[in-house]
Amino acid sequence: MASELNPAAVYTDFQGLTALKAGAREQSPEALRAVAKQFEALFLQMMLKSMREAGEGDPLFDGEQTELYRDMYDKQLSLDMSEKGIGLADVLVRQLQMQSGDKPAVGKELTVPQRLNSVFSPAVAAAVAGKTTAVTADEIAASPEAFIQRLWPLAEKAAAKIGASPEALLAQAALETGWGKAVIRRPDGSSSHNLFNIKADRRWDGEGVAKQTLEYRDGVAAKEVGRFRAYDSFAASFDDYVNFLQSNPRYAEALRRTDDPKAFVRSLQDAGYATDPAYARKIGNILDRGVVADATAALKSPGQRTLS
């Protein structure tokens, strides 16, 4: 039997989806009700987020920390509203129960995911069914918190290959892309998915994208046009980043210091990964910021790790 809506289970998107997936595997009326309640809570959360984005903001108090805690407040507010109910869950239950009257050819009753697929969009139904969807450029650019949450599974997988911490890779990618807002784009406007701004040198036989960049030569900054690698996905960017470091002998020292995130990025700078003399310090500042610690702490909490 499915449990009632658990406040802690919908406080974040990740954990809310975990509960949805678990409930969708059950075929009882209680499971249907629990899934509908979860959708109601997530719907309210998205509605509040849209209302915030439509506002002009507060020029005096707006900032990343303010946005982080305001988002946490909105999530809790949507949770409280869904506990009282706005009627959406009842509508969903009735609609989904109607779908159960349609018998498939094999004569079995439709499962909860099948009913959801007939009511909601394929993306929503896929999330409830437990299927992973590709990370998009718009998702990671939404906020620093979203950047960390959406890319965490990819960073964790890549970091494990070189013995580094996911936080170090995410902080580096955040600096290189302005928290996802400045990922290099192709001429048609689509994302290059290049999170680490690796250039397309003669060793690269894949797609490349030209872009103006700021380089430091003998301590003097100058604008240059560089050619950068382009990938089909952010997952491919993480994979190539690992391969790039492992295949270049000059990064051997950095790979020996992956147990210390700041020492790791300092070694990358010393090896010539970037020409900016403040490159390692800037990444260290990102690692020290509260948004990184808060977001990663939530992801490491029990029940939070659901994406892959």
pLDDT on residue 58: 59
Give the per-residue pLDDT at 4: 47
> 138-300 has which CATH code?
1.10.530.10
Q: How far is CA 65 from the centre of its chain?
A: 18
pLDDT 10s digits, 157-170:
999 999 999 999 99
Mean per-residue pLDDT over the chain, rounded: 75
pLDDT at 131 over 50: no
Identify the DSSP state of 190. -
Handedness of CA 134, 159, 165, 131 (dihedral sign): positive
Q: Report the C-alpha gap between 25 and 39 in whole angstroms.
A: 15
**Percentage of residues in the chain with pLDDT exceeding 90?**
39
Looking at residue 20, what is its pLDDT? 53
Q: Would you state the pLDDT for residue 47?
A: 73
Q: How many Cβ atoms sit within 10 Å of the Cβ of residue 236? A: 17
Q: Is the pLDDT of residue 90 over 90?
A: no
**pLDDT tens string 17-70:** 455 555 555 556 666 677 777 777 777 777 777 666 666 555 555 666 676 677
161, with CB counted inside 10 A (0-12, 13-18, 19+), is middle
Mean pLDDT of 80-106: 62
Q: What is the pLDDT of residue 245?
A: 97
Longest dimension (CA), the chain: 75
Question: Mean per-residue pLDDT for 146-157?
Answer: 92
pLDDT recorded at residue 155: 94
- Given this model, what pLDDT does residue 43 score? 74
Say if CB 175 and CB 283 are below 8 A apart: yes
pLDDT for 25: 53
pLDDT tops 90 at residue 185: yes
Model pLDDT for residues 212-229, shown as the tens digit of each residue: 876 777 666 667 778 999
Enumerate the domain spans of the chain: 7-133, 138-300
Q: Which of 49-63, 145-159, 245-259 has the highest mean pLDDT?
A: 245-259
CB–CB of 303/18 below 8 Å? yes
By annotation, the residues acting in catalysis are 215, 240
What's the rounded mean pLDDT across residues 190-197?
96
Please name which of 186, 276, 201 lies closest in space to residue 244, comparing C-alpha atoms: 201
